[in-house]
Amino acid sequence: MMILSLCLIISLSNTILGIASPARHLCHPYQKDALLEFKNEFHYNVMAGKTESWRNNTDCCSWKGISCDPMTGNVVELDLQDSFLNGPLRSNSSLFRLQHLRTLDLGLNNLTGILPASISNLKYLRILTLYSCNLFGKIPSSLGNLSYLTDLDLSVNDFNGELPGSVGSLNRLTELRLVSANISGNFPPALLNLSELTWIDLRSNNLSKLVYFEISGNSFSGSVPPSLFMIPTLVDLDLGRNDFTGPLEIGNISSSPSRLRVLYLGENNFNGPVPRSLSKLVSLVSLDLSFWNTRKGKVDFSIFLHLKSLKLLHLSNMNTKNMVDLSLLSHLMSLGDLDLSGINLKIDPTLNLPSPIKFLALSSCGIAEFPKFIQSQTRLIYLDISANQIGGQVPAWLWKLPVLWYVNVSQNSFNGFEGSEDVIQKSAKVMLDISSNTFQNPFPLLPASLMHFSCSDNRFSGEISREICKLVYLDTLVLSNNNFNGSIPRCFENFSTTLSVLNLRNNSISGVFPEESIGVYLRSLDVGHNKISGELPKSLINCSRLEFLNVEDNMFSDKFPFWLRSLPNLQILVLRSNKFHGKIFSLIFPKLRIFDISRNLFTGVLPSDYFAGWSAMSSDVGIVDSTPVRILGRGSGFYHSLTNLQSLDLSQNRLSGEIPPELGKLTFLARMNFSYNMLEGPIPQGTQIQSQNSSSFAENPGLCGFPLEKTCGGKEEEATKQEEDEDEEKEEKDQVLSWISAAIGYVPGVLGGLTIGHILYSYKYGWFLRIFHCFT
């Protein structure tokens, strides 16, 4: 009762207000006339439906099926769905005088006739529904002028011919429904231009020539219309690498045999069970469902057994927990390309897959024994059995497979190689990744054809085998996290014209860095965590492609390598924990993003003017990973996760002078560390700098002011004044310490990239605070 009376009061007051301000609520007379005339354009066989309430002496905004804009009083919505309208929509219909219409729904009426081109007069239309209206003839191309249109439904009509290409200019369209509209001819390629489109329903038409539908690698989202699978002529449907979501409906395919040969749905966000009706797509040759989220459900492999023509089957990372017996696939006689990574596999030792496989990826499949069926796969080119639990020795027969060139056995428990010493050398491998196992000496003899070799995280020891120098095609060499000792072989010069990635990180390598081992094509050089002494090799100056240089935690004893500034692509330079000394100056690195010089013996003062420009820095994104170099895009997850890790670390050097007040203004620096230097004077004011823990300033005998307990006795204010006087001293300072400006254009994304390589490691161990990086 309460609610009812409340409603009554509200509607009463509305009526009263309505009378009080008629201008706002009465419809415009010309629009009322247009509506009344429109009503009279039709015959009403039985009754007049909604239009029955339309009377000349009432406010048309109060009529059934009408909505007006409360501010302007214009008729903006006309909903006459199922209103017994009989008769054609004439091209001079008074409907087209309702210029302000945003929604027009004439669905389920008998408008027997054509859809007049003058529909485009209603140029503000957002929603147009002419569902089941007995319309025929051509769909007018003037529809393309309705530039605000978001929803178009022309389903269940008897149109003639194709969908006009002008529909491709409806770039706000999100939903397009043309079910049973007798559309024929080509699938309108213009639709592929509509980036907002989340719903296309083209069921039951007469589209005859759609053969290829490839929109892979875009950002299409929403669900995939089942109608796509109903297009009888479709041969190639590639929706891979988009953001399509939801369970997939394939509809009832049994009516006519599908011609679909290629179906790529991989790397989207599909979820739910794999549709059983896939098994009806009997012409399929290539099927990619990778990264389909089955929500830990079961994948019924029998679905695929009907697809006898399959040559390519990619089912990796389907988030399924069930164990799949690989022998099921022995029915697929043409299979040549199989990726089941991430699926728990049962592989019988006697299994024999009859079809010759060229590409086989069985990473993270819970495999505990080297799959023997591979031995008879003599056409195998690519084998990835990484991230399993296979122990013991890598079988000798593997290297006898004649065309195998990519072998990835990383992240297992292998401890050696079966067979003679030169068993690998005699094969023609190009890529060999044996990292993260328990391999130990003897170091294998490698084939001269090798371009990529990684044995990181194993137990190899002793001097680096000079045999490696025979690999004159080597592009990537990763020996990190072993126990190699001795010096870097001079004969590395043998691949100095091919090598782009060299990673010797975390071994016990000593001696000086031989100049001749530096190749001009180097993009990434990481020798961090070794015992290398002497100077940085000056031949680095020839590495114009160098992006990543990390020599942290060695015994390099050298002046600041300002000459590296001539490397146009250098983005990350890490010199921390060495014996670099002297002043740091003249640094204008064109692309430097990360610059870590902490824990050295640098001396000198901090010039204030180099901080001033920092907040204006900006740059495009380039993310570098140490091994191998990878440039990742902005969309990378790392980029987002770590943007607030912004710190400046100058700790553990012998820097003197005062901390420049400008540093207090750099709001993007979340953390700073000035500890263990010889800095003096007041700590500058500024929220960022004052919010630091006092330990960030510790062990600088002359520093004073908050957050330290030691007060300066009024010197804090002086610090601000000093800032103003500094212009005079500028000249002098240009010659000293411009190292701060080296941090040009630091980008958060780069930090993300470093994560992958080694800073993640640092991060994990809480060292990130000591890394000097500067951001925009």
Ligand X SMILES: *[C@@H]1O[C@H](CO)[C@@H](O)[C@H](O)[C@H]1NC(C)=O
Cis status, amide bond into 628, omega within 30 of 0: yes
State the minimum distance, in angstroms, from the CB of residue 607 to ligand X.
Answer: 34
> Strand locations in 21-82, DSSP E?
66-68, 75-79
Contacting residue, 81, 184, 216, 271, with ligand X by CB under 6 A? 184
C-alpha span between 307 and 316 (Å, rounded): 18
Provide the residue type at 552 as one letter. Answer: E
Pairing, β 75-79 against β 66-68? antiparallel
Say which residues have a Cβ less than 8 Å from residue 761's Cβ, sequence separation at least 6: none
Contacting residue, 18, 49, 65, 87, with ligand X by CB under 6 A? 87
Per CB under 6 A, 271 contacts ligand X: no
State the minimum distance, in angstroms, from the CB of residue 489 to ligand X.
Answer: 7
Query: Coil, helix or strand for 213?
Result: strand
Contacting residue, 316, 494, 653, 692, with ligand X by CB under 6 A? 494
Per CB under 6 A, 208 contacts ligand X: yes
Interaction mask 35-64, ligand X, x per CB under 6 A: -xx-------x----------x--------
Contacting residue, 158, 325, 422, 718, with ligand X by CB under 6 A? 158
First to last CA, the chain: 62
Interaction mask 8-37, ligand X, x per CB under 6 A: -------------------------x--xx
Contacting residue, 18, 144, 297, 702, with ligand X by CB under 6 A? 144
The answer to whether 527 and 550 are in contact (CB under 8 A) is yes
State the minimum distance, in angstroms, from the CB of residue 320 to ligand X.
Answer: 18
Part in contact with ligand X (CB under 6 A); list of ranges 138-146, 262-270, 592-600, 612-620: 138-146
Per CB under 6 A, 641 contacts ligand X: no
Cis status, amide bond into 140, omega within 30 of 0: no
Contacting residue, 138, 259, 306, 470, with ligand X by CB under 6 A? 470
# residues contacting ligand X (CB under 6 A): 55
φ, ψ of residue 681 in degrees (nearest 5):
85, -175
Contacting residue, 103, 145, 293, 643, with ligand X by CB under 6 A? 145
Per CB under 6 A, 168 contacts ligand X: yes
H or E element in which residue 3 lies: helix 2-20
Cis status, amide bond into 660, omega within 30 of 0: no
Contacting residue, 166, 530, 554, 578, with ligand X by CB under 6 A? 166
C-alpha span between 461 and 446 (Å, rounded): 17
> Considering beta carbons, is residue 56 or 667 the nearer one to ligand X?
56
C-alpha span between 682 and 705 (Å, rounded): 5
Pairing, β 548-550 against β 572-574? parallel
C-alpha span between 287 and 272 (Å, rounded): 17
Per CB under 6 A, 182 contacts ligand X: yes
Question: Which ranges constitute the DSSP H helices of 585-697?
Answer: 609-612, 637-641, 687-690
C-alpha span between 492 and 463 (Å, rounded): 13
Pick from 730, 744, 774, 736: nearest CA to 585: 736
The answer to whether 752 and 623 are in contact (CB under 8 A) is yes
Part in contact with ligand X (CB under 6 A); list of ranges 87-95, 541-549, 559-567, 648-656: 87-95
Say which residues have a Cβ less than 8 Å from residue 196's Cβ, sequence separation at least 6: 150, 171, 172, 173, 174
> Considering beta carbons, is residue 628 or 705 the nearer one to ligand X?
628
Contacting residue, 86, 271, 615, 656, with ligand X by CB under 6 A? 86
Residues 403-462 that bind ligand X (CB under 6 A): 408, 410-411, 431, 433, 452, 461-462
Per CB under 6 A, 491 contacts ligand X: yes
Contacting residue, 5, 254, 350, 687, with ligand X by CB under 6 A? 254
Q: Which residues form the interface with ligand X (CB under 6 A)?
A: 33, 36-37, 45, 56, 86-87, 90, 92, 110, 112, 120, 136, 141-142, 144-145, 158, 160-161, 166, 168, 182, 184, 189-190, 193, 206, 208, 252, 254-255, 363, 386-387, 408, 410-411, 431, 433, 452, 461-462, 466, 469-470, 472, 481-482, 485-486, 491, 494, 506, 529
